[in-house]
């Protein structure tokens, strides 16, 4: 097949059609997919390249769209249940044809109006795009080749006694410890994180803060600028509450203290009980 179902494709207009344009990976492709008229850019001609998402329509025929779904095959996304019948649950994933989550792929029986974390996959038998809330069937199936401090995409999965379980790059699971959490997290929330370590048993520890060696230099510059913008004084120091530090600098207290230490050693600030001051040479 010259295009990938459930993925973004850059395809070429092979020929015009009364219902739209026919797309393939080249103009000579034998396997073509229709992009309906309502999605065809103005003044499109044969040979033009168009970025599209390809899925199956209600008749299980490949169809292209320039709209973006909420998730693609191989991704995890929080989706809302729109309907339930004898086949399964139907989820809103941003396209005209709702996404089916078969009963056999539901971790808990789904209810209309509720939201669930769903993994999108291609059903081997029907070749259709389907969803599953049985995430463990699809995650941690490949070795986790991450490096310490590597930046990754996280999807919050659930709260645990130790913190929050998160999905890493739609492929693996890891843990954000409670001590590393500054602001409340929500199931389905997506955010940038960092690999703290991959343990010998394969479990992965995560952080929401940049590694201190990288972040403290950037934060020290921010602190200096904030001081200059406030006449050389800020009413907080290394004893301030973590919530206040996060509100002002979007930083953990540990990272903030490291940055203050750097500025103090460089004699750029004075730290007193009332707060921090710029030194005379920085004023």
Name the region of 244 (left: φ>0; alpha: ψ -120 to 50; beta: rest): alpha
Domain annotation covers residue 143 = no
List, edge to edge, every strand of the sheet that includes 275-278: 233-234, 275-278, 269-272
Give the pLDDT score at 182: 78
Dist CA 37 CA 209 (whole Å): 46
Dist CA 165 CA 173 (whole Å): 7
Phi and psi at 53, nearest 5°, equal: -105, 135
For 76, 136, 207, the CA distances from 199, given in Å and listed in that order, are 24, 19, 14
Residues 189 and 226 in one domain: no
Nearest to 178 by CA among 164, 158, 199: 164
Do residues 74 and 102 touch, judged by C-beta distance below 8 A? no
Domain annotation covers residue 92 = yes
Residues 159 and 201 in one domain: yes
Give the pLDDT score at 282: 60
Residues 88 and 103 in one domain: yes
Domain annotation covers residue 144 = no
Do residues 9 and 2 touch, judged by C-beta distance below 8 A? no
Phi and psi at 165, nearest 5°, equal: -85, 135
Q: How do 233-234 and 204-207 pair as beta strands? A: unpaired
Q: Which CATH number is 276's domain given?
A: 1.10.10.10
65, 84, 104 — which closes off a domain? 65
Domain annotation covers residue 109 = yes
Give the pLDDT score at 13: 95
DSSP string, 209-269: S--HHHHHHHHHHHHHHHHHHTTTEES--TTS-HHHHHHHHS--HHHHHHHHHHHHHTTSE
Domain annotation covers residue 258 = yes
Range of the structural domain that residue 217 is part of: 212-282
Q: Which CATH number is 123's domain given?
A: 2.40.50.140
Q: For residue 172, what are its two tokens?
A: 């693996």
Q: Name the stretches of the chain with pLDDT < 70.
A: 1, 212-217, 281-283
Give the pLDDT score at 240: 87
The helix-helix angle for 242-249 and 253-265 (nearest 10°) equals 70
pLDDT digits (tens, 9 = 90+) for 35-51: 999 999 999 999 999 99
Domain total for the chain?
Answer: 4
137, 164, 184 — which closes off a domain? 137
- Alpha carbon distance, N-terminus to C-terminus of the chain: 66
Domain annotation covers residue 3 = no
Return the DSSP state at 27: T
């Amino acid at each position: 097949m010259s295009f990938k179902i459930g993925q973004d494709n850059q395809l070429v207009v092979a020929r015009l059609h009364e219902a739209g344009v026919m797309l393939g990976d080249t103009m000579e492709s034998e396997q073509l997919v229709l992009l309906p008229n309502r999605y065809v850019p103005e003044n499109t001609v044969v040979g033009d390249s168009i970025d599209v998402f390809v899925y199956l329509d209600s008749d299980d025929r490949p169809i292209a769209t320039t709209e973006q779904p909420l998730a693609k095959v191989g991704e995890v996304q929080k989706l809302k249940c729109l309907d339930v019948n004898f086949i399964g649950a139907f989820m809103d994933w941003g396209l005209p044809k709702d996404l089916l989550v078969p009963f056999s792929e539901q971790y808990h029986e789904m209810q209309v109006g509720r939201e669930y974390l769903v993994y999108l996959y291609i059903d081997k038998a029907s070749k259709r795009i389907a969803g599953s809330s049985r995430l463990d069937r699809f995650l941690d199936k490949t070795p986790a080749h991450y490096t310490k401090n590597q930046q990754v995409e996280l999807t919050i999965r659930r709260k645990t006694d130790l913190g929050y379980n998160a999905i890493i790059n739609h492929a693996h699971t890891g843990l954000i410890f409670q001590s590393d959490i500054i602001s409340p997290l929500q199931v389905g929330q997506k955010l940038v994180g960092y690999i703290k370590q991959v343990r010998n048993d394969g479990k992965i520890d995560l952080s929401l803060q940049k590694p201190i060696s990288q972040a403290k230099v950037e934060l020290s510059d921010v602190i200096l600028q904030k001081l200059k913008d406030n006449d050389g004084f800020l009413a907080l120091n290394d004893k301030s509450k973590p919530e206040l530090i996060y509100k002002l600098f979007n930083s953990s207290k540990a990272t903030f203290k490291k940055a203050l230490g750097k500025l103090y050693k460089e004699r750029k600030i004075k730290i007193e009980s009332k707060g921090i001051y710029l030194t005379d040479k920085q004023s």
